[in-house]
Amino acid sequence: MRAQYLKLWPDLRTKQKLGRIFGLVAALPLLINLFISEVAMAQTYSTERILATSNTISGKFSRQKVELGKTGLSFSTILNENMHVWTDPSPVKEGVVARIYDPENRDKLMIEVHHILFPSFADASTAGYGFLALNGYNRILQDSSHGNSVFGFLAGSEFKEGLGYDRMSRLAVVSHGSDVLIIQATFDYDDYPDYEDALSRFFGGLEMESESAAFKTLKEQTAKGGEVFLYPEGWDLKTVDSSNKPEGTSDYNLSINGEEYPNLVVHIRPVDLAKGREVAADMISTFTKQIDDSSQASFVGDADMETIKSSSGEPIAHAYARGWDTTTGGHFVTEIFVQRNADVASISVLGLNTYDARRNIRSFDKETQDIIFRSWVAGISAYSVVKKSLVMNRDAIKRDFDLRVLDH
């Protein structure tokens, strides 16, 4: 790969447990973007029905508070009078900090509130998607019309070949930075009609006691050409020497506490999008050759290539993504993303190195699953922040981190 476009890491052999398990390939760049695919869970329930919400209070329903101490994570919502609320006396810890259930039917419907700490900022929908995958849900939906970086609705179902659909979950995810609240309702797939109304009110009525603190956990970096991007606390940013490159060129590598994975790269170039596409094509060619020539890795499926256009049909970005595995069982994806920056006549080439938490994560032991899950969420989330901050103005970014904009 040409040095002026992307700096290769000299050694990608992780020092941690995952490196020993996966047998990582040295000097191979891994770049990823998150494409949450909405897979229909069955013809029985439409996507709109599964993710439906309502804030109507009537009959036996009333607003009740779920008190989680001084964590800043307390919330209220609309509950049936039969529902009992249990909260952990020490909710600061990780794990299940509250349960909401009907004592007569707790084996039918259980709502659990999970408190999870990540290495750095966790995007709400990304954390929810990873959580569902970690817990064996292989048909996952996201409500893209009602969410932002700090709040998201998702649903998941477990499909078994030859048996059909088993359990199902609905999620609401709230991010306060590295602190994330995942509110999960679990029930049998066939029982959804029995709880549809109650769940619609429960999720639609969610109101958080405190605003999200996530935006305050972001740092700011100004490139040589005046471009400004944000990245989460907990990430170490290193500026790569670009003194021998055209004026306005900036290169950065980011990692968490010096760990091999996840890794972010940010390349800013004073060129147009057409030239940026040439940069990406060269990078893709080099990456493809590295995998094809390796005896330790092979591609999974075909490449996913997309040109992203504005509402007027004008190209504004180009994306490439492809999964690959190591011979020792490691699952990875690679993406290269090129976009036109806001306000400045330049483009950015972005990449993220990470494990893939979406494929067969449950084939590993619990400790390894947890490492993959948290690092994948942290990497995808940081990647999303950097990308958005280069194409959105500051007010738009702040709205994307505002719970109140969504009435939660």
Distance of CA 207 to the CA centre of its chain: 22
Distance CA 334, CA 126 (A): 17
CA dihedral sign, ordered 355, 360, 361, 366 = negative
Q: What share of the chain is helix, strand, coil (3-state, %, to 5)?
A: 25, 35, 40
Q: Decide if 25 contacts 297 (C-beta within 8 A).
A: yes
Q: Kindly tell me the burial class for residue 79, based on how many C-beta atoms sit within 10 Å of its own C-beta (0-12, 13-18, 19 or more).
A: buried
CA dihedral sign, ordered 325, 330, 331, 336 = negative
Enumerate residue ranges in the chain where pLDDT < 50: 1-43
Residue type, 287: F
Q: Kindly tell me the burial class for residue 281, based on how many C-beta atoms sit within 10 Å of its own C-beta (0-12, 13-18, 19 or more).
A: middle
The reported pLDDT for the residue numbered 204 is 97
Residue type, 108: K
Largest CA distance in the chain: 71
Distance CA 79, CA 17 (A): 44
The reported pLDDT for the residue numbered 16 is 40
User: Helix 124-134 vs helix 366-391: angle between axes, to the nearest 10 degrees?
Assistant: 160
The reported pLDDT for the residue numbered 219 is 98
The reported pLDDT for the residue numbered 164 is 78
Written as six digits, the tokens of 38 are: 């909405």
Whose CA is closest to 271, among 388, 384, 349?
349
Distance of CA 353 to the CA centre of its chain: 14
The reported pLDDT for the residue numbered 258 is 84
